[in-house]
């Protein structure tokens, strides 16, 4: 049957699929628009399954907050050409907005959210077919706090989210979010590090001291000193405040407000 150019354009606008793909879908559906849309989607799923073994190393990392809730997502693709595409960034933003509006508990819950009558998971599969690259939602995280701030590094490859125990000055919040971005702490404070990690670091310190020929009766003391250095370098509140260099992050916050502290943070980068 004859397929009108206007119908092909309408299907292309609705699905973002290629012109010939739209024409073939309409021919297969015998001109039925809704059936043609389903055909495009199903073909998108087929493409997605064929690309399941491809690596999605590039992508877009975004974060957003409404003040007391903050979310972060990373949608990955295969090339930086796609990652920098406005449509891809807009699609990632759409997922981000849905995450903030619904605050799902897990990545699976986020993927199940319905947008425009279809789940986010299905839409990602459809976009895989449209774009021609493997896409995957590689990260989702959220925090809730009395006051939240986000930081997105230029290029959308790295983002941070920080929660505070009380309202804080905008610049102060930004300073801490950038500290997290630059120094990649593993926990807010040392009590946030699992005991097995602490034990492991302590043993590493002991073994290193032993290899250096230190006396056996000094190994624990040396290991504890190295563990304390690990806490200073790896926990946010104990890190040196990068913008000053003469005080810790904890001391910086207290210089602003004696009761101000960080309650939680998220950091994700595609270069990890």
pLDDT tens column, 188-200:
999 998 898 888 8
Task: Identify the pLDDT of residue 12.
Answer: 74
Q: Find the length of the chain.
A: 272
Instruction: Say if residues 252 and 239 touch (Cβ distance below 8 Å).
Output: no
What's the chain's average pLDDT? 90
| CB distance 46 to 65 below 8 Å | no
pLDDT tens digits for range 66-116: 999 999 999 999 999 999 999 999 999 999 999 999 999 999 999 999 988
Report the number of distinct structural domains present in the chain: 2
For the entire predicted model, the pTM comes to: 0.77
| Whether 23 and 105 share a structural domain | no
Residue 54: predicted pLDDT: 60
Q: Say what the pLDDT of residue 55 is.
A: 66
253 has a pLDDT exceeding 90: yes
**Percent helix, percent strand, percent coil in the chain, to nearest 5:** 50, 20, 30
Q: Give per-residue pLDDT as tens, 145-168.
A: 999 999 999 999 999 999 999 999
Asked if residue 37 belongs to a domain, the reply is yes
Q: Please provide residue 70's backbone torsions phi and psi, each rounded to the nearest 5 degrees.
A: -145, 145
Q: State the residue range of the domain holding 35.
A: 5-50
Note whether residue 194 is domain-resident. no
Residue 141 lies in a domain: yes
pLDDT (0 to 100) of residue 119? 94
Which of these three, 104, 128, 152, is where a domain ends? Answer: 152
Q: Which residues pair with 136 in a beta bridge?
A: 76
Residue 165 near residue 145 (C-beta atoms within 8 A): yes
Q: What is the pLDDT of residues 19-72, one digit of tens each?
A: 777 888 899 999 988 888 888 777 665 555 555 556 668 999 999 999 999 999
Handedness of CA 7, 9, 15, 20 (dihedral sign): positive
Higher pLDDT, 133 or 53: 133
Q: Tell me the Ramachandran region of residue 103: left when phi exceeds 0, alpha when psi lies from -120 to 50, beta otherwise.
A: left
Greater pLDDT, 100 or 220: 100
CA distances from 66 to 70, 73, 161, 197 (A): 7, 15, 12, 34
Question: Do 139 and 77 fall within a single domain?
Answer: yes
DSSP bridge pairs for 142:
71
Q: What confidence category does residue 7 fall into, taking pLDDT thresholds of 50, 70 and 90?
A: confident
* Helices marked H in the chain: 5-15, 19-28, 33-50, 80-83, 86-102, 107-112, 120-131, 170-183, 195-211, 219-234, 249-256
Residue 118 counted as domain residue: yes
Predicted confidence at residue 15, as pLDDT, reads 67
- Sign for the CA dihedral angle at 188, 192, 194, 199 comes to positive
């Amino acid at each position: 049957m004859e397929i009108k150019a206007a119908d092909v354009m309408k299907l292309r606008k609705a699905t973002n699929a290629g012109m010939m793909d739209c024409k073939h879908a309409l021919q297969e559906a015998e001109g039925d628009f809704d059936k043609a849309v389903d055909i495009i989607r199903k073909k998108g799923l087929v493409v997605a399954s064929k690309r399941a073994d491809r690596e999605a190393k590039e992508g877009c990392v975004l974060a957003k907050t409404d003040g007391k809730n903050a979310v972060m997502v990373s949608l990955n693709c295969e090339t930086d050409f796609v990652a920098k595409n406005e449509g891809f960034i807009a699609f990632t933003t759409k997922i981000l907005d849905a995450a903030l509006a619904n605050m799902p508990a897990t990545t699976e819950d986020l993927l199940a959210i319905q947008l425009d009558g279809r789940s986010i998971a299905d839409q990602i599969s459809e976009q895989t077919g449209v774009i021609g690259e493997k896409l995957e939602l590689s990260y989702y995280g959220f925090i809730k706090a009395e006051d939240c701030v986000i930081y997105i590094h230029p290029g959308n490859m790295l983002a941070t989210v920080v929660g505070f125990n009380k309202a804080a000055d905008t610049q102060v919040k930004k300073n801490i979010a950038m500290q997290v971005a630059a120094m990649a702490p593993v926990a807010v404070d040392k009590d946030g590090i699992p005991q097995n990690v602490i034990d492991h670091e302590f043993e590493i310190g002991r073994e290193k001291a032993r290899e250096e020929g230190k006396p056996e009766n000094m190994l624990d003391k040396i290991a504890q000193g190295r563990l304390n250095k690990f806490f200073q370098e790896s926990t946010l509140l104990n890190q040196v405040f990068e913008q000053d260099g003469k005080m810790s992050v904890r001391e910086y916050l207290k210089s602003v407000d004696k009761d101000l502290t960080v309650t939680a943070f998220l950091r994700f980068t595609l270069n990890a």
